[in-house]
Structure 1
Amino acid sequence: MTQQRDPFAPTVAKAQHWLDVVTDTLGTEDRFFAYRALRAWCHTVRDRIPVPVAAHLGAQMPELIRGMFYDGWVPSHVPVRHGTEAFVSQFAREAGIPRADVPTTAGLVTDALDQLFSPGQLERVFAVFPESLVHVVWGQPLADNSLGGPIPSGAWTFSE
């Protein structure tokens, strides 16, 4: 039996694999962007699900990803309101992307994670979301804002 020199190596390898899947699914070579997108997904989803659901979801993650998932979490403050507007704003801020890019980015991260979690896990998690938010996390474009009107052109970017 060989002894591994680094006790953290398997943990790092699993986290790297998850990040590789997210990076590949996003179609980028920018691992820092993939990390920000994964972190944004983890935090925005985590904050909108009940504590037991978050604990079950986190338990399926590699240790390093799980640490990122729980970073900054205050269980007594969740779940927060499920509004699509707040979800999009938080995701965009954490990922460092324009709001218009959130559905595509969130959907691609969801697709990547759907490959990594046990079958049906994400459907069970998203069962507590309103339909409009389910559409966003699966990558469907925003048709309207939280007020029900059309989204103004350019309203979702930080560059303006």
Structure 2
Amino acid sequence: MNTTISGFTQAADQAQEWVNELAEDLGWSERRAHRLLRSVLHALRDWLPEAEMADLAAQLPALVRGIYFEGWKPLETPVRDRRKEQFVARIQHDMASDPLDEPDWAIAAVFGLLDRHLDQGEIAQVRTSMKKALRQLWPTH
């Protein structure tokens, strides 16, 4: 990563582009899209096996990677019971002040954003490591 001021500005612009793109995909405010992106990244981080979690992190832009790791408690992860219902419930809990009417659709939008921006080989590995019901929220080509 470029550690100059211009590199930091570029990283901030890239993170903002991701949030803007997600907000546009969902027809939401940037603030709400950012909250959803953060929530889904945190849940995904905790649902993935450690090696896959780290591989995914390496693919994320610098500031998005910061969001991904924010508040991470390695001794409490990964989540052992990785069912879709618990994943969705976690997102709903995080969004409790602004509940999701269609959580599967919103989560799928974040997965779609990742799908468009990350290496397809890595995406395939992430999808493979998920339980089938949760994997079905991820777009396929």
TM bucket, shorter chain: 0.7 to 0.9
**Superposition map of 1:1-150 within 5 A:** 8-28=8-28, 30-80=29-79, 81-96=81-96, 97-98=98-99, 101-135=102-136, 137-138=137-138
Task: Measure, in 2, the Cα distance between the counterparts of 1:122 and 1:32.
Answer: 26
CA, structure 1 residues 76+33, in 2 after alignment: closer, same or farther (shift >3 Å)?
same
Give me the TM-score of the superposition, normalised by structure 1: 0.74
Give per-residue Cα distances to partners, 1:63-103, cap 9 Å, x unaligned.
11111100111223222121222111101122345465210
Give me the TM-score of the superposition, normalised by structure 2: 0.83
Larger helix share, 1 or 2: 2
Q: 5+ residue gaps in structure 2?
A: none
SS at match of 1:72: coil
Task: Measure, in 2, the Cα distance between the counterparts of 1:15 and 1:91.
Answer: 20
> Cα RMSD between the aligned structures?
2.0
Which AA in structure 2 matches 1:64? L
Native 8 Å contact 1:22 1:112 kept in 2: yes
Larger Rg: 1
Identity %: 28
SS at match of 2:13: helix
Q: Runs of at least 4 residues of structure 1 off by over 4 A? A: 4-7
Q: 5+ residue gaps in structure 1?
A: 140-160
